[in-house]
Amino acid sequence: MSKELVILAYSGGLDTSCILKWLIQKNYNVVCYMADIGQNENFEMAKQKAKSIGAVDVIVEDLREEFVKNYMLPAIQMGLVYESRYYLGTSLARPCISVGIVNAARKAGAKYISHGATGKGNDQIRFELSVYSLWPDCQVIAPWRLPEFFNTFQGRSDLIEFAQKQNIPVSATPKEPWSTDENIMHISYESGVLEDPSAVPPLGIYKMTRDLKNTEDYPCVIDIHFKKGIPVQIQVPSGQEKALVITDALTMVQTLNKIGGQHGVGRIDIVENRYLGLKSRGLYETPAGTILHMAHLDLEAYAVDREILRVKKYLQDKMADFVYNGYWFSPEADYVKKCLKDSQDAVNGSVTLQIFKGNVIILARKSEISLYNQELVSMDVAGGFSPEDSTGFININALRLKEHARFVKLTEK
């Protein structure tokens, strides 16, 4: 009888290397799938490693542009922030990778998808819900949730021992005492020594951004242009005749990551609520994402009607939860994405901002067509405004308050 085919989301690290071997021992044929979403990884070396362990094939796919165009920039457009602070760098990457692996699985004729995500985390959920949405008949093998596996490998030392026995190369450099998730949008740090929310994180933990004391001494001023809420061009530095003008989405993000990194922009240290119901502490650095988010927020406030903004706020908070919890591919997210996109028709223009010492400082914003009416708002010009109208406006709005005061007085008698 022929062996069944599993496609494994492979990282090159200890966990998925051991899982690869374990699946082979379980009599599966295993194809390894690696998505390049901008993480700092030696894909060639990882490929060799997987092959040496026994993978029947190793697929490396460059999803960086796909990730930036269809996940990261739409998230900026939608204004997604989880629990007021987190820009969802990891949450957005999972569905993107899921599309890649499902397509690869179908092409390869695999029946199973396997991954190395743990049983307490968000990523197993994001990954599997995405996979099930895209491929409802798929079967998932999640070794870290199978007693047979997690009882055998109770800690890192069990994995190392297994690896050594099975001739799986183990990195000589000791693992950092926390775990990391990296892509072109952000790096996250959690677990290990970071699990104690009252412990100040160790120095030197961040990789994309410099510590404030090492940042550049001169600010960088840039222009960011938006079309329907999507960043479409950056100009560095602003206002210079020979400024660098970038319109390619991937290059734009890479450039802003570099600038943001030099100026120490985009770090947060938070306690967040996981979908499973746990609270967990995480550190994130999101340089380009932070700059783009703040620019978008500024232009949106300028360009969009007040009442649409109120409705959009509700929708974006819902959407941030959907994405964090793994529902990027779901009826509700499809629906809300559409609604949020519709809210951005007027978000066309540019924002000028200064990047300096960890700060993103909005300096100015422009929009050829805007709801902003300088003459109307001006304190110096009447601009068609009749001040007497305000009296009526106030008096009518006071009606209900006066009635309430009357009522409260009656109840107090």
Residues 100-129 that bind a copy of itself (CB under 8 A): 118-121, 124-125, 128-129
Stretch that binds a copy of itself, among 57-65, 69-77, 250-258, 372-380 (CB under 8 A): 372-380
* Residue 269 binding a copy of itself, by CB under 8 A: yes
| Cβ nearer to a copy of itself, comparing 45 with 381 | 381
Catalytic residue among 15, 181, 223, 298: 15
* Residue 44 binding a copy of itself, by CB under 8 A: no
Residue 2 gets which letter from DSSP? Answer: P
| Cβ nearer to a copy of itself, comparing 241 with 412 | 412
Query: Phi and psi at residue 402, in whole multiples of 5°?
Result: -65, -40
| Cβ nearer to a copy of itself, comparing 243 with 309 | 309
Interface of this chain with a copy of itself, residues 73 to 92, rule: CB under 8 A: 83-85
* Residue 245 binding a copy of itself, by CB under 8 A: no
Closest CB 349 distance from a copy of itself, rounded Å: 9
Question: What's the token pair of residue 338?
Answer: 């559409």
* Residue 357 binding a copy of itself, by CB under 8 A: yes
Say how many residues touch a copy of itself, by CB under 8 A: 125
User: Residue 97's CB: how many other CB atoms inside 10 A?
Assistant: 25
Element (H, E) at 356: strand 349-356
Give 254: exposed, middle or buried? Use CB within 10 Å, 0-12, 13-18, 19+.
Answer: middle
Among 62, 176, 248, 342, contact with a copy of itself (rule: CB under 8 A): 342
In the residue annotation, 15 being an active-site residue is answered as yes
In the residue annotation, 179 being an active-site residue is answered as yes
In the residue annotation, 389 being an active-site residue is answered as no
Residue with tokens 């779901």: 330
Catalytic residue among 179, 191, 330, 370: 179
Catalytic residue among 64, 123, 126, 281: 123
* Residue 210 binding a copy of itself, by CB under 8 A: no
In the residue annotation, 281 being an active-site residue is answered as no
Give 70: exposed, middle or buried? Use CB within 10 Å, 0-12, 13-18, 19+.
Answer: middle
Residue 195 gets which letter from DSSP? Answer: G
Of the candidates 338, 317, 322, 284, the residue with the CA atom closest to the CA atom of residue 130: 322
The C-alpha atoms of residue 300 and residue 76 are separated, in whole angstroms, by 11
User: Are 34 and 68 in contact, with CB atoms under 8 Å apart?
Assistant: no
Interface of this chain with a copy of itself, residues 152 to 181, rule: CB under 8 A: 155, 179
Strand spans (E) along 115-183: 139-141, 179-182
Catalogue the active-site residues. Answer: 15, 94, 123, 179
